[in-house]
Structure 1
Amino acid sequence: MMSQEANDQITRTGRQDPCGKLMRMYWQPAALVDELQGPRAVRPVKLLGENLVLFRDEQGRYGLIDRHCAHRGADLAFGRLENGGLRCAFHGWLFDVSGLCLETPAEPKDSKLCQGIKQRAYPVVEKRGILWAYLGEGEPPAFPEIDCFVAPDSHTFAFKGHINCNWLQALEVGIDPAHASFLHRFFEDEDTSTAYGKQFRGASAGSDMPMTKILREYDNPIINVEHTEYGMRLIALREIDEERTHVRVTNQLFPHAFVIPMSTEMTITQWHVPIDDENCYWYAIFTSYAAPVDKKKMRDQRLELYELPDYTSRKNKANDYGFDPHEQATETYTGMGNDINVHDQWAVESMGAIQDRTNEHLGTSDKAIVQYRRLLRQEIEKVVGGEKPFMFLDEAHARSIQGPATMDGIGPTRGWEIYWMEVDVKRRRGAPWAAPVPSEIAGKIRHLSAAE
C-alpha cells in the first residue's frame, strides 16, 4: 500500500512540488501547431499549473509568456498581435517572444520604465505538429532521435485530447497490458480491411486473426518488463496454442510517454501532460513506416469524438460516457461505444481527480506500474538532490536513443524472443524513410543469427 505522502510526491506537478521540478527538466507539449493556425495566432495555455499565453508573431516566431500582464495583471490572451509582439489590450504594453517589454505607450516619451520589465517567458520549438515548451532552468535537453522525430512530416500526424484527471493515472493505463482484454473487449469482430486509423481493430502481424479476437479469447497474458536506456520495455505474451503465441511489445518512454503499436504499419508515441494536478492532455504522434499518413482521415476520425477548441470529449462524465446497458450486454465490455479513447477516459476519470493509491491492491499483472513508480520516485529524489534525471539528454546521448522497437503479431511459441525483433527490423528496413534500427535490437539479431 502507498502512503498519502508518496502519492502526493508522484502526482503533484506545481513549480515547488518535487514531481513538478522533475517535469520541468523535460520538453513538454504545449499545443498542437494546428491550434495557432489562422489570422490570430494567440492561445491561452495552462501547463504544469502555470497560466500562460502562446502566440506567433508576424515573423513566425513562437512565444510562451505569463498570461497576466506585468503592468496590472490583465489577460494577455486577449492581446493584439502587432509591432513584433503581443500587446496588452488594457494599456498597450508590448511584449516580444522572449518576454521583453518593448513599449509602454501611455508613459512619457522619455520613460525608461519598460527597460526593467520582463514577462516570464519560456522557449518554444515546433516539432512534428506539436509546439514544445521548456519550463525548466538553464539549457534544455536535446530531443531523443526516436522514430516520431526522425520520420518526415508526411509520415506523422499529431493530435491531442483532454482528460479530466491527474496525469499519472492517464499514463498508467498505457503501461498496463492486461486491461485491453477487458476494457477494450468487443464481442464481434469487424472487417480488418476497414481498420485504418483505429486501434485494436486490425489484424495482428503474420496472421489474418483480428486483434479483437485475440484480446477477447486470450485474456491472461504473461507480462515481462525489461529496463532500457529510455525507460521500460513491456512484452505481453498470449499463448494461442503450442505452436503460436501472440506477442505485443510496447514501451514506456521516461518520464511520461509510451510508444505502442497501432497497426502493422503505424505506431503511437503518446505523452501525458499535466495541465494542473487534476487535468491533463494526451498528445500523440502517429508514425507510419509505409505510406504517408492520411492526415485528413485521421483528423476527421478523431474530430468525431473531440470538440474544438479545447479537444474535449463529446462522451464524458456528464453523459455517462455514452453508456448503453444493451450494448454492454451484447456488443462491448463497457457499453461505451467503439472508441477505446472513451474506455480509457472512463477508467481513469472514474478513479477521481487524483487517484487515491493508498487504497489500491496491486497484482502480478501490475508489475510495470510498480516498476515505473519506483523509477519515478528515484528520479524525483535525484532532482530534489540537485542531480540531472534519467533521460535528460545531451546531443551525443540523444542520438543513441532510437526506435524504440514495437511489435504486435503472432509468432512461434518457441522462438518468439527473436521473432518480434525480426518483424520490427523488417518493417524499418522496408520504410520509405531512414528508420533507424536500434543498436540493441540489431546486435541481438546478429548475435542470435550467428549462433544458429
Structure 2
Amino acid sequence: MISAEQNDFMTRVGAGTPAGQLLRRYWQPVAISEELQGPRPVRPVQLMGQHFVLFRDEAGKLGLLDRDCPHRGADLAFGRLENGGIRCAFHGWLFDAEGKCLETPAEPPGSKLCSRIRQGAYPVVEKSGVIFAYIGEGEPPAFPEFDCFVAPGTHTFAFKGLFECNWLQALEVGIDPAHASYLHRFFEDEDTSESYGKQFRGASADSDLPITKVLREFDLPEIQVAGTDYGMRLTTLRKVSDEQTHVRVTNVVFPQAFVIPMSSEMTISQWHVPVDDTHCYWYAIFTSFTGPVDKQQMREQRLQLYELPDYTSRRNKRNDYGYDVQEQLTQTYTGMGEDINVHDQWAVESQGPIQDRTREHLGSTDKGIVAFRRLLVKAIEATQQGQAVPMVIAADQAAAMTGPPSIDGVNETAGQGTEAETYWRAADRERRVKSSWAAARLGA
C-alpha cells in the first residue's frame, strides 16, 4: 500500500521537489519540429511547472529561454524575432539563443547595463522531429543510439497529444500489458492490409493473425519483467494454441518513456512529459524499418482527433470522450471510438488529476508497474544523495545502446520448447537485416 506522502514523492515535479529534481537530470521533449514552422517560429513552453519561450532565430538556431523578460517581467513569447534573437515587445531588449543580452535600446549611449544582463537559457537539440531541452544542472546526459534517434528522417514521424492528468499515471498505462485485452478490444477484425498508421489493427509478425483477435480471445497473458541497462523489458505471452504463442516485447526507458511495437514494420517511442503536476504531453516518434513513413497520412490520421495549436483531443472529459452506448454494445469495449489514444486518455484521466494510489489494489499483472515504481523511488532517493541514476550516461555508454528490440509476433514453434527470448531476438534481427538503414548498423 502506498501512502499519500509516497504518492506525492513520486508524482510532484515542481522546482525543488524530489521527483522534479530527478526528471531535471534528463533531456525532456518540449515541442515537435512542426510547431516552429511558419512565419513566426516562437512557442511558449511549460515544463514541470516552469515557463519558457522556445524559438528558432533567423539563422535557424534553436533557443529556449525563461519566458519572463529580466527587465520588467513581460512575456517574451510575444517577442519579435529580429537582429539575431528575440526582442521583448515592452522595451525592446534583445536576447540571443544563449540568453546573452544583445541590446537595451532605450539606455543612454555608453551604458554597460546590457553586458550585465543574462537571461536564463537552456540547451536544446532536435532529433527525429522532436525538440528536446535540458533544464537541469550540470552537463546533460548523452542520447542513446536507439532506433528512433538513428533512423533517417524519412523513416520517422513525430506527433504529440495532451493528457489532463499527472505524468506518472499516463506513463503507467504503457507498463501494463494486460489492459489491452479490454481497454483496446474490438469486437470485429478489420482488413489488416488497411491498418497503416493504426495501432492494434494490423497482423502480428510471422502470421496473418489480427492483433485484435489475439487481444480479444486470449486475455490471460503471462507477463515477464526483466531489468535492463536502459530500464525494463516486459515480455507478454499469450498462448494461442499448442503450437503457437503470441509474443509481445515492450520496453520502459527510464525515466519516462516506453518503446513498443506499433506494427510489424513500425515501433513507437513515447515520452510522457509533465507540463505541471496535473497535465502532461505524450510525445511519440514512429520509426519504420521498411519504407519511408507516409508522414502526410500519419499526420492527417492524427489531426482527425487532435486540434492545433495545443494538440488537445477532440474527444475529452468535457464530451465524455465521444462515448456511444450502441458502439459499446456492438463495436468497441469502451464505446469511445477506434483510436486507442482516446481509450488511454479516458483510463488515466478518469483516475483523477493525480491518481490516489492509497486506494488502489494491485494484482499479479501489475508486476511491471510495481517494478518501475521501485526503480523510480530508488532513483529519486539517489538524486537526493548525489548518487548516480539510470540513463544519465556518457557518450561511450550511449553509443553502446541500440534498439531496444520491440516485437509483436507469433512464435510458431512454441510447442517444441523454443523459448520466447530466442524467438523475439531472431525476429528482431530478421527485421533489421531486411531494413536498409538498420542493416547498415548490424556490424557497427
TM-score normalised by structure 2 residue count: 0.97
Q: Does 1:287 align with 2:291?
A: no
* Match in the other structure for 1:340: 340
- Would you say the 8 A contact 1:147–1:435 is kept in 2? no
* Alpha-carbon distance, 1:205 to partner: 1.0
* Match in the other structure for 1:447: none
Query: 1:350-403 deviations in whole A, cap 9, x for unaligned?
Result: 000010101100000000000000000001111111123111010000011110
**Separation in 2, partners of 1:212, 1:260:** 16
- Would you say the 8 A contact 1:259–1:270 is kept in 2? yes
Q: Give the counterpart of 1:425 among 422, 425, 429.
A: 429
* Match in the other structure for 2:406: 406
* Match in the other structure for 1:318: 318
Aligned structure 1 segments of 4 or more residues deviating by more than 2 angstroms: 434-439
Q: Percent sequence identity over matched residues?
A: 67
- Would you say the 8 A contact 2:432–2:442 is kept in 1? no
1:53-64 to 2 correspondence within 5 Å? Answer: 53-64=53-64
**Separation in 1, partners of 2:102, 2:439:** 45
Q: Does 1:192 align with 2:196?
A: no
* Alpha-carbon distance, 1:224 to partner: 0.3
* Match in the other structure for 1:235: 235
Which amino acid is the alignment partner of residue 334 of structure 1?
Answer: T
- Would you say the 8 A contact 1:402–1:438 is kept in 2? no
**Separation in 2, partners of 1:349, 1:437:** 40
1:372-411 to 2 correspondence within 5 Å? Answer: 372-411=372-411
1:69-80 to 2 correspondence within 5 Å? Answer: 69-80=69-80
* Alpha-carbon distance, 1:67 to partner: 0.7
**Separation in 2, partners of 1:48, 1:37:** 25
**Separation in 2, partners of 1:22, 1:417:** 32
Query: 1:194-232 deviations in whole A, cap 9, x for unaligned?
Result: 000000000111111110011000001000001111111
Give unpaired runs (5+ residues) of structure 1: 443-452
- Would you say the 8 A contact 2:29–2:133 is kept in 1? yes
* Alpha-carbon distance, 1:116 to partner: 1.2
**Separation in 1, partners of 2:242, 2:438:** 37
* Match in the other structure for 1:68: 68
* Match in the other structure for 1:434: 438
Which amino acid is the alignment partner of residue 208 of structure 1?
Answer: D
Tell me, what secondary structure is at the counterpart of 2:274?
Answer: strand
* Match in the other structure for 1:47: 47
Which amino acid is the alignment partner of residue 428 of structure 2?
Answer: D
Query: 1:271-327 deviations in whole A, cap 9, x for unaligned?
Result: 000111110000000000000100111001001000000000000000000000111
Query: 1:89-116 deviations in whole A, cap 9, x for unaligned?
Result: 0111111111111111111112111211
1:16-415 to 2 correspondence within 5 Å? Answer: 16-411=16-411, 412-413=413-414, 414-415=417-418
Q: CA RMSD in A?
A: 1.3
* Alpha-carbon distance, 1:257 to partner: 0.3
**Separation in 2, partners of 1:168, 1:39:** 36
- Would you say the 8 A contact 1:150–1:435 is kept in 2? no
Give unpaired runs (5+ residues) of structure 2: none
**Separation in 2, partners of 1:348, 1:327:** 21
**Separation in 2, partners of 1:429, 1:21:** 41
* Alpha-carbon distance, 1:435 to partner: 4.8
Tell me, what secondary structure is at the counterpart of 2:436?
Answer: coil
Query: 1:40-76 deviations in whole A, cap 9, x for unaligned?
Result: 1111000111111001111111110111111111111
- Would you say the 8 A contact 1:151–1:435 is kept in 2? no
Tell me, what secondary structure is at the counterpart of 2:183?
Answer: coil
**Separation in 2, partners of 1:318, 1:22:** 33
**Separation in 1, partners of 2:113, 2:221:** 66
